[in-house]
Structure 1
């Protein structure tokens, strides 16, 4: 009897112990699973850190506010760049590929976010399928996007955009920032869009919106030739004094004289450089004055009645040069006509002197033509790189002669003349981008980031730019 009682007590003790163990093990397992399921995926990069409080979910970058971008780990400066880039591309990101180009988003950061971005991979318009299934948890983003994206242009019939204010463009369907940029572009052109061609070139107007507006635009199809250059320097940062017209000889007019005729400081300097360097010191006729690119056709018409070209003020060619240029006798090497090339400036060397040194006519013409397009050589390597030049002979020339770069006209990206940008060999392929970017951005440093040029191209361009 005693044995049975002891066995029963032991049995109860064992069962109680086992039950307690099961309960304890179940509790540990439960809390361990709960901790795992409560952990949400987060990004922890050094550059951007997504808040652990906000789990990642699919999002449309067009609908994000500043706070939304902050929750994704972006700094205020990066967010400002993102919003500015969005305006530059037309007010909305249209694809992942386009968003990826924004330099505020590193490649690593984009890889982390890509799976959650509700945009097509490529293309100019969002794919509707990206805004349907699997997006119920982001209805606020979706509604905001539809409100902005679906805003159609309301065209009030035939209209001249020259007469439109910011409010008029906003009523048509543009954002206030877009409307402001469109008017800045008009002011840059000189106060008029001039033609449908120029209006279309405004980067705030997408191809789709232009197609809708084009039938209603009261503008010429093409820019009239007599107005193509009328906007030059109208947006210059240098103040132009009121023009005081009186008879003048352009060959003896100094810096202050050109200023009194209504030109800015920079324009006056360009005219003097053009006369002294390109034309060897004097204008010979009206056409040569008109060819100076800082003098618009309208300004030239105003100046014409007052221009006096006195031949006595022309810089004359020496008698020795006259004999050399016009003699019908075969060329002979006479000691008195030989040039001391150690005293020759490569930015002033003449066609005759290059022939004398040993270049053929084609090489000499190519070098002088390249020098003219550049506005002067900034270093001797440019001479070696001249197309179809005798490189061995060019190497000898730069070893003997000197190079004076002091007369080279330099600008900043923010104020370089449009015509100069489009004609200069180093700038013409980026001219349109520079012209558009500087409508809203005046910092040269930021503009270099926008251009994203190869280092060798950037270094060449900087040879002709004022360095801060």
Structure 2
């Protein structure tokens, strides 16, 4: 190479060596960035990355079903046809035609089939499955047929029927059916259905005061009925928090979506829970919540 360069240029040996060094430096400067990209160490993933991805996937799945439900409800609202109706005799399909979901419709039908009665149009608002907005739309169309009295054969139409009081008795709220709960003085058909639904959601009552968590059953009503109720020592339905998935825990009325997700993600990151004390390490759970769910979980 030196001979070839000397053919066109005149270089001393030292100048030629300097030129080679310069070219070598330029070459290294050119390829160093590529060498760095090839040889640089691989960054370590955040140890919480998998948990974060799973959390996003779980949230996306939840949002998917929420959106699906709203779309289905929106589709139902589009075909609503208002008409005059008697809530005491309307079928499940009839309620659905008025815009209610199948579950909402069946809840009202169950109420009437078990003896519940609408005596005036305004009684419709006592059904918790009917929102205030829907109640306002339906009220002008409610037409309740006159109640035909069923007089005993030995009783004249002009005579007043003696009011039959409920006999005082103690009812086990963990084993009674709707008819049994209806025997409690101060509890009607609607409250009986709500108590049954809440008992199923809980997995059984652990103490009597939980009745005040039933929709519409406040402390005043509880004081009225507390001496008429008892709780048997039936086995409560429990969920193992070390194997539970989201759907296993979502029925528990004491846990929110975020709390359920936190329980599952903490277990995935730190391993199984040994006992209630481990649950206190989940920052989103306070001691009050842990005490409430304690009878319904296992490890």
TM-score band, normalised by shorter chain: 0.3 to 0.5
**TM-score normalized by structure 1?**
0.29
**TM-score normalized by structure 2?**
0.43
